[in-house]
Chains A and B, each alone.
Chain A
Amino acid sequence: MFLLRGLLKTFLLFVFYSTSPIYSQVASPVASTIPMPVELSFYFQKDSLVNLEHIRSTCNLLTDPNALYKDGFLLPARKKAFIRYVKTISEQLELAYLLKKKIDTKTIELVYQLEWMRLSFIQKAESNSTIKLSFHEKKQLFLNTLKSKNSRRIAIPQANFSTEYESIYSSFFTELVDSLCPEERFDLLAKKKKINAKTQMIVLANQFSIGGSAPKFEVLDLDIENKWIIKWGDEVHTDIFCSRLFAGLGYDVDHPYYYTENLILIFDGVSNVKTPEELLDSLNIKYGVNIQNYMGKTGKVTGEMAKSLPSLTPFIGKPYAQFVECSLEARPDRVKRLGSFMPYALKNDSRMELRGSLLAQIFIDNWDTKEDNTALTLVNKGNKHYRLSAIFSDLGTSMGVHISWLNQDFKVGLVNELPWEAVKIKGQKLVFTSRMNSLVDLYKKTNYEDLRWMALKIAAIDSVGLRSMIEAAHWPKAIGELYFHKMASRRASILRAFHVLDPHPIAFTKQLTIHENGKCVVKKGKLLKAADLATYPISYINFKGRMRNYGK
């Protein structure tokens, strides 16, 4: 529905702007000198000055706490930093109006940011109001999944195609630091957002986070400043690996980290969830998932514990829980999330760095590629300076996905389900093996050159980088090793398909066999049932997963 709504919106915008007298009078002379997305032309008058009335209308919508609804949708709460940023932009544009400044690249960039925030803010309102997907929407996602496997084809150009790309610098969409090793980029991004995932984390229970089908719970740092989300289930490892991989390819991402008993969750009485038992029950009711297998030690904080971890002292006597494993995803105070990054608006579908991300999605075999899994964020750079950044979020529905048509459930992180090859060459076409539940508009426009641009980024990942990303995900050893070989193979298939000379060939074998404790756990590139030890909280072979509720 939201895809259709997006299409409809784009169409209406097109009709409106192309028939609007303002657009026809204004945009032609303006557009002929400085190209800009059609949505922005409304922010300028025919004399190329900024349109103060329209700017104020947008800024009032984005900042006025009394404006609760737009087109019947309840608007999301506006964060202080967001309001401040909008106002700083608004003031620069108001000054440009007073100074009668003609349209220039700086004003276009300011207006671009304003309109981007407006669209994303409204998208969030619409998305929040969609409690359940309609039958038609579910059917569409189902059909997309069905159609996408082995049917997405890209023609290999017959004529000579460009193999030289201009360096793409887009401060909003990519964090491309080519001088940095791909595996180091995730930590650099985290540092910029002041994310401090300590070796030993103590967090306070807060509340249930909304949306999604994976069981999760929001917690707070001890300084009650930064939020985190604890996640359990089949995405624990995949999300961690894929976020690092996407960061390595130059994108901004969420920041999940792997924890075991080195995470202590305290129930200090402030949250409405007061004990580990209540947490278990509530997660079961809310997500239909029992995380009992993930529960480690539980009890009440003792003086003995506080002796070895002094920061536990104020919580002596309070209930706590540790986990066999979980991921802890940062929601730092420095980063404010809006809605999606609007892949279909503001000419974003013409951006090579976005269209090329299709190959990155294919590389990790990401199934849930809905628009809702992108986010526009406002990052505090310090000293009240902010920047907008588009992120790829929730990348965990990947790395071997099984979708059951009968039970309507799905499971991710099934290594045997991940094909050894991401792309195959069939005649003059490239065929991709991944399934996707949604093909956002920009991916429909993706061409060979966009994908080849991404293939070059993938080529920059070497053996050391891939290994370190897999180690960060903390899969059981044999499974991690099998993933290493599979991802190396998938990488090689991509480079081969796009005629990219491999600068860092990674050795792999499809016949990988691994023995553990005298038992064969991986045989000829396949994880055996014998490896599915009872000590793991989740099976890496069994298909039984969680219900597909598509994030609602």
Chain B
Amino acid sequence: MANKTNFVLSFIFLIKLSCSYSQGIEEQRKYCVKNADTFEVSLKKDPTIGGISLLHHADDVYYDLYLDSPDYTLKRNGYSLRFRKRISNENGVSYSFQLKSEMVDLNGVRMEVEESDLSFYKFLQDTSIIHLTDIIDPLFDFADTKIPTIALQKCRETLQEWLIFKSNAPILPFQQLKSLNAVLFNDAMIGSFAPVLVGKSLRSRFHGVIDPEQNDSLYRSTIRNQIAFKELPKKLQENDTLNWIFEASLDKSQFVPLEENPRTIDLIEFEVENKFFIPERGAQLIDSFQKEAETKYNLGPVTKSKYAQAIDILHN
């Protein structure tokens, strides 16, 4: 009877936890990497760490455009707000608008909410109707060119007009900010946000899986991840013997402030994001992975977001 009650309670807990996850909480761990190239080569040579195999599946390019108020209210309050453009061989080009919180501690839980599809957002530039993505594209390009142009300035102004106009619109990052602090993040504050930093990241992506051929005992002792088939990455849809635990990525990023002759900031990070349907079990498996990875590759845990790190470097 007691067992039954415990099971029911833990089931309710899991349901609640999985609900909160789906509403915008991710469990992420970040590590600074001393030498990215050596680390990448090592991963390819010996991809099993702590019983988990890293399956390299994509090399993507990310552009991030961070927004903040002139006095960095978002950063000071532990948030980062960005437009992201992702170029992937697998899925082509996609855009999103994301709000993330800083990690509170090393347990890696972060709030993340996003508008995952910007394709239907349009605005007026002068008298022409223009897609939002066409407004932010030239700003992303600055990460490569680092040359401010008149067209870029025009898009910057249009984006600011969009922010002012949309401050009360049904856009999830804005709704979330108001929910977090309605007084601070009022319409005027959101309307004061402007692009401050743009970055480009080369991201090597890996699925963290338990492969029965590499670790049969762990495979047998771990319940299968209950994820809808369509939610599974393509590679794992094709190979249903692998049990998906987490996603990992190695980012080589360069950030520049949106100004003339910008200073560049280079960051290299390895990230792991829990994807297991029972988050605690996923976290346990990531713990084992982390323990071995720290010893083997001298990885150091990081809590600050790339945005916070870059702004700190710029301000010091």
Contacts and interface: CB of A to CB of B under 8 A. Distances in A.
A60 interface: yes
B120 A88 contact: yes
Interface stretch (B62-70, B225-233, B281-289): B225-233
B223 interface: yes
Contacts of A64: 170, 172, 175, 179
Nearest to A91: B120
Given A65-B23, A91-B120, A91-B121, A223 B223 contact: no
Interface residues of A, number: 29
B234 interface: no
B178 to A, nearest CB: 8
B170 A63 contact: yes
Interface string A33-69: 0000000000000000000000010011011111000
A223 B229 CA distance: 5
A350 interface: no
Interface in B175-213: 175-176, 178-179
Contact of A56 (B19, B24, B121, B168): B168
A424 B129 CA distance: 62
Contacts of B297: none
A310 interface: no
Contacts of A238: none
A63 B175 contact: yes
B124 A98 contact: yes
Nearest to B8: A272
A524 B123 CA distance: 73
Contacts of A270: 223, 226
Nearest to B169: A56
A143 interface: no
A314 interface: yes
Contact of B223 (A77, A87, A91, A269): A269
A92, A223, A269 — most chain B CB neighbours (10 Å): A223
B179 A225 contact: no
Nearest to B10: A272
B229 A224 contact: yes
A60 B227 CA distance: 29
Nearest to B277: A270
Interface string B158-180: 00000001001110100110110
A64 B177 CA distance: 11
Nearest to B121: A91
B230 A225 contact: yes
A60 B172 CA distance: 9
Contacts of A223: 228-230
Contacts of A86: 170
Interface string B127-168: 001000000000000000000000000000000000001001
B170 A87 contact: yes
A90 B170 contact: yes
B120 A224 contact: no
A344 to B, nearest CB: 27
A426 interface: no
A314 B226 CA distance: 13
Contacts of B168: 56, 60
A77 B165 CA distance: 28
B170 A59 contact: yes
Given A65-B23, A66-B176, A272-B7, A95 B122 contact: yes
A94 interface: yes
Contact of A98 (B115, B120, B123): B123
A364 B122 CA distance: 49
Contacts of B175: 60, 63-66
B123 A225 contact: no
A22 B179 CA distance: 30
B169 to A, nearest CB: 6
Interface string B24-40: 10000000000000000
Contacts of B19: 77
Nearest to A278: B4
A314 B170 CA distance: 44
Interface string B1-30: 000000110010000000100011000000
Interface string A494-525: 00000000000000000000000000000000
B170 A56 contact: yes
Nearest to A61: B170
Interface in A60-89: 60, 62-66, 77, 84, 86-88
Contacts of B178: 66
A84 B117 contact: yes
A307 interface: no
A62 B175 CA distance: 12
B172 A63 contact: yes
B304 interface: no
A384 interface: yes
Contacts of A225: 228-230
Contact of A224 (B23, B24, B129, B228): B228
A465 B24 CA distance: 50
9 contacts: A60-B170, A66-B178, A77-B19, A86-B170, A90-B170, A92-B120, A224-B229, A272-B7, A384-B117
* Closest 8 pairs between A and B when the two form their complex, measured CB to CB: A223-B229, A66-B179, A59-B170, A64-B175, A63-B170, A225-B228, A224-B228, A272-B11
Given A64-B175, A225-B228, 9 more contacts: A60-B170, A63-B172, A63-B175, A65-B23, A66-B176, A98-B165, A99-B124, A224-B228, A269-B223
